[in-house]
Structure 1
Amino acid sequence: MSLLVRLAPHLPYVRRYARALTGDQVRGDAFVRQALEALAAGRVSLDHGLTPRVGLYRAFHEVWSAEGADPGAAPAAEGAPARRLMRIPPRSRQAFLLTALEGFTPGEAGQILGVDFAGVDGLISEAQREIDAELATSVLIIEDEPVIAADIEGLVRELGHDVLDIAATRTEAVEAVRRQAPGLVLADIQLADGSSGIDAVKDILGQLDVPVIFITAFPERLLTGERPEPTFLITKPFQPETVKAAIGQALFFHPGAGRKAA
Structure 2
Amino acid sequence: MSCDKPLRILIVEDEILIAMELESLLQDAGHDVVGVAASSEEALDLGRELAPDLAFVDIHLADGPTGVDVARRLTAERDVTVLFMTANTKRIPEDFAGARGVIAKPYTERGVREALAYVMAEQDRDADESRTMTFIPFSRRSREDSSQLS
* Counterpart-to-counterpart distance in 2, 1:164 and 1:204: 15
Shift of 1:228: 4.3
Letter in 2 for 1:206: A
Structure of greater relative contact order (alpha carbons < 8 Å, 6+ residues apart)? 2
* Counterpart-to-counterpart distance in 1, 2:50 and 2:95: 28
Letter in 1 for 2:90: E
For the 8 Å contact 2:26–2:32, the answer to whether it is kept is: yes
In angstroms, what is the RMSD of aligned CA positions? 1.8
Residue 80 (structure 2) aligned to one of 188, 202, 210: 210
For the 8 Å contact 1:135–1:251, the answer to whether it is kept is: no
Shift of 1:246: 0.3
* Counterpart-to-counterpart distance in 2, 1:253 and 1:207: 20
The answer to whether residue 98 in structure 2 is matched with residue 227 in structure 1 is: no
Give every structure 1 segment of 4 or more consecutive aligned residues whose post-TM-superposition deviation is greater than 6 Å. none
* Counterpart-to-counterpart distance in 2, 1:228 and 1:197: 11
Residue 110 (structure 2) aligned to one of 226, 233, 241: 241
Partner of 2:36: 166
CA offsets per residue over residues 106-153 of structure 1, 9 Å max, x none? xxxxxxxxxxxxxxxxxxxxxxxxx3xx13121000000011001110
* Counterpart-to-counterpart distance in 2, 1:190 and 1:239: 19
The answer to whether residue 20 in structure 2 is matched with residue 150 in structure 1 is: yes
* Counterpart-to-counterpart distance in 1, 2:56 and 2:26: 10
* Counterpart-to-counterpart distance in 2, 1:231 and 1:193: 23
Letter in 2 for 1:227: D
Residue 253 (structure 1) aligned to one of 117, 122, 130: 122
Shift of 1:248: 1.7
Percent identical: 34
* Counterpart-to-counterpart distance in 2, 1:137 and 1:234: 18
Matches within 5 A, 1:1-262: 131=3, 134-222=4-92, 224=93, 226-228=94-96, 230-254=99-123, 255=126
Shift of 1:159: 1.0
* Counterpart-to-counterpart distance in 1, 2:15 and 2:72: 21
CA offsets per residue over residues 39-82 of structure 1, 9 Å max, x none? xxxxxxxxxxxxxxxxxxxxxxxxxxxxxxxxxxxxxxxxx7xx
Q: Where does structure 1 lack aligned partners over 5 or more consecutive residues?
A: 1-79, 85-130, 257-262
* Counterpart-to-counterpart distance in 2, 1:228 and 1:176: 22
Of Structure 1 and Structure 2, the greater strand share is in: 2
* Counterpart-to-counterpart distance in 1, 2:68 and 2:96: 12
Across the two proteins, how many residue pairs are aligned to each other?
124
For the 8 Å contact 1:138–1:182, the answer to whether it is kept is: yes
For the 8 Å contact 1:170–1:195, the answer to whether it is kept is: no
Q: Where does structure 2 lack aligned partners over 5 or more consecutive residues?
A: 128-150
